Chain A
Amino acid sequence: MLKTTPFHGRTAPLCASHAWRRWAGYVVASSYELTHEREYHAIRSAAALFDISPLHKYRVRGRDAARLLDRVVTRDVARAALGQVLYTPWCDAAGKVLDDGTVARLDETSFRMTAAEPGLRWLQDNALGLAVAIEDVSESTAALALQGPASRAILQQLTDTDLADLKYFRITAARLREFWVTISRTGYTGDLGYEIWVEARHAEAVWDALATGGAPYGITPAGMLALDVARIEAGLMLIDVDYVPARKALLEAQTSSPFELDLAWTVNLAKEQFVGKRALVREAQRAPQWQFVGLEIDWDALERLYAEAGLAPQLPGVAWRTSTPAYADGKQVGYATSGCWSPLLKKYIALAHLRSPWAAPGTLLELEVTIEHRRRRAAARVVKKPFFNPERKRA
């Protein structure tokens, strides 16, 4: 049977849509309301509350904890400050991305790692000979994401910890009402936001505290559909959708290196050793074959194509996840893996893998669109990610 998260007692009665979906073996709400629209706008104008408990979470502790993580991930963990959170991919020996997630330094020898795919075995296998204890805390740790401009104000009234001091991608222990939690200034929306990590047995009480404290600020429980639009606006890739993790790839061509996923900034080749380093050093010496970019579909072109069919443009309010060919000079030069209409930016945007010669910002392409059962090509342009990057995210 599928599992329910520690918040299910709260989320189930709220789920008026009865639209549930699977996430890592759990059921979570696609949207609570009948459409996800208000939930999306809460992210950008008030605060949205997401149940993100299905994330895989590992506690890594011990003298060699930093060494283990440094062996596994591409970023420099040893140099992470106490209370720092690193977003990072990790690779196989061929330098192909296995997964991406975060590593939070809780203290000198203790870390919490989050992952989209189960990773206990990989951590254990890489820990041979190291003084480190790895614990899968996926079930015992519940997690919420509170995202949106009002998120700080809502949290602040519930805790004595001064959140103004909690910088972007930092984490702190805090008491939220009477419960000890950790709060990280992280999220998957590209907005001001926090993630709250709490022992599963206190999950519902923490939900209640947030719901009550957030009500005056318009806190809104939000589901995966709203999150999907927000993460595309933020230019954040999604495993299994925007890239195939190396372990699931049936062909080598399905795999991606961090360089091909626009994650060069996360690869620290100065580190003494990590899984995939040799391959990545080689790859760094030549330009990557592929790049992961933002696309903006040209409104006028789209409108014209629809007009030819006698229709007004129909826009994807729900993000799509079907691989869609992108063309230049009449031939296919890549494919978009997710896209949506951004209700905030009033733009039709997509995330795409393009062959490097066509990946520079400003490059003009065509993206396949299906209009009245016919495949057409709409003009599109390569743009810099993220599409949406408000100052409040880091402020």
Chain B
Amino acid sequence: MRTPYDAIIIGGGHNGLTCAAYLARAGRRVLVLERRECVGGAAVSEQVFPGFTFSVFSYVVSLLRPEIIRDLDLPRHGLHILPLESTLTPLPNGDYLAQWDDHDQNRHELARHSLRDAEAYDEFGRLMHQMSRAVKPLLGLIPPDPASLNPRDWFELARLGSHLRGLGATRFHALHKLLTMSSADYLDEWFETEALKATKSASGIIGTLAGPRSPGTAYVLLHHYMGEIDGVFRAWGFAKGGNGSVSGAIAGAARSFGAEIRTGAAVAHVLLDRGRAAGVVLEGGEEIRAKRVVSGADPRRTFLELVGADHLPAEFAQALERFRFRGASGKVNLALGELPSFTCLPGNGPHLRGAISISPSVDYLERAFDEAKYGEFSTRPYLDIVIPSAIDPGMAPPGKHVMSIFVQYAPYHLNGGWTDARREAFGDAVIDTLAQYAPNLKSAILHRQVITPADIERTVGLTEGSIFQGELTLQQMFWLRPVPGWAKYRTPIRRLYQCGAGTHPGGGVMGASGRNAALAMLQDGA
């Protein structure tokens, strides 16, 4: 029988598409199968309410690897990243803390709160820049296994070792701290302004069921610092048209290289032939064969649902059971009749074109976590808000706006489980929280969409609603992601690969997993 495809990619998320694009670019015949009617996975733009387009799930761009943008020539396929210039943290006392792009403006603003912090900020930024440079080579690397005896691993590890030694003592020590400390403790060494520490530490808890005082969160802080646009570290942006246009551009690139993309095509299980992956069976029963199969779904869904534990080595299946997802975040998407007006900075202004962070203090964030720790959503949650229509007016009808609210914490394992009533109560807590800072919010709301981790799991298939396809904590990073010994995109099933964020280097609209997986497959002679 003819095997028409060199590879089938399960899931048209941005990583699956990236993997497909790289394989197609290398001349392989590839087919992407996406369960939903639109590609993108968690990077989609949808007109949830007529005229109002939302980046329904992921909502900013920064970690997307520059080499992917270059290799796939994404701007030609419609990628346009608009700048996100500031971060505003409104405070309960009516004041605010803003972080601006412009160095002088930022310094003046920080100096209003603390002269020391204004000075420390630059130094901190430079150190994080250097740390990012130190860690960055790891992102594009198929992670070597320190426990392996393979000379290739040893060669890679030696290279890594000499890279780390090249950092110099001071930076190496800083890296050690980043890998071991909590983000709050780490930031305490640098700053004294509560709102600044809290807002920065929030980067360390995103997507993770951990508080700013949980050890290990400092690394996630660094992970977010690695955002890079045009070579500028720590530059966050907003994709014109929403994050769906990132996926759209990658899909466009993949198609231009000859990849086939089928939507509305849900994979029921991976087809095995004498223990090797040989294709997939769709939910309708259609069987499609390919020389190799690569799954963009998360590790648990891939192996325990699409392959089945009975085909796996027991220890591998057990490791997957232990792999932690624990979705902790939700989204509230609002269609607004007018812009929110913040008590601290009333009316329209440049602050509405940046991120708005409800993170007045480390205690506030930690308390929000406390509730989640015991199975409740936060009644006063951490919010990371953007108003895409203020940056890209096409997202909403003229004069109207869309607001994206990323919310933490909304634990997947909610006491009593997520119900429609709990979802709405969660949405109310978010609106009540924000309305304290922007009193016109409630009257401005035309429509609202509330998304819980359970909704994320149901809609885009991310296990437990984990936005990173598994927590980005150190015990499941690098050569441990997702399973020790199987961190190189290859799996115990021959000719089955993984390309999702559940592999190194992990989540964010980064594309690195998809690219690395394609490279690993090509190395294997795909």
Contact = CB atoms under 8 A, between A and B. Distances in A.
Nearest to B116: A121
Contacts of B107: 25, 118
Interface string B115-126: 110111011001
A395 interface: no
Nearest to A24: B104
A252 B170 CA distance: 13
A1 B106 CA distance: 9
Contacts of B168: 252
Interface residues of A, number: 17
B263 interface: no
A25 B119 contact: no
A108 interface: no
Contact of A120 (B105, B116, B129): B116
A250 interface: yes
A243 B394 CA distance: 47
Interface residues of B, number: 15
Given A118-B119, A120-B116, A120-B119, A25 B104 contact: yes
A248 B116 contact: no
Interface string A119-149: 1111010000000000010000000000000
Contacts of A248: 122, 126
A118 to B, nearest CB: 5
A3 B108 contact: yes
B116 A250 contact: no
Interface in A327-371: none
Contacts, number: 34
Nearest to B168: A252
Contact of A247 (B105, B115, B126, B129): B126
Nearest to A94: B170
Contacts of A2: 104-105
Nearest to A25: B104
A22 interface: yes
B214 interface: no
A120 B108 contact: no
B341 interface: no
B193 interface: no
A80 B120 CA distance: 31
B361 interface: no
B449 interface: no
Contacts of B123: 247
B436 interface: no
B115 A118 contact: yes
Contact of B115 (A3, A136, A250): A136
Contacts of A122: 119
A252 B115 CA distance: 27
B118 to A, nearest CB: 7
24 contacts: A1-B105, A1-B108, A2-B104, A2-B105, A24-B104, A25-B104, A25-B107, A25-B108, A118-B115, A118-B118, A118-B119, A119-B119, A120-B115, A120-B116, A120-B119, A122-B119, A124-B116, A247-B122, A247-B123, A247-B126, A250-B126, A250-B129, A250-B130, A252-B168
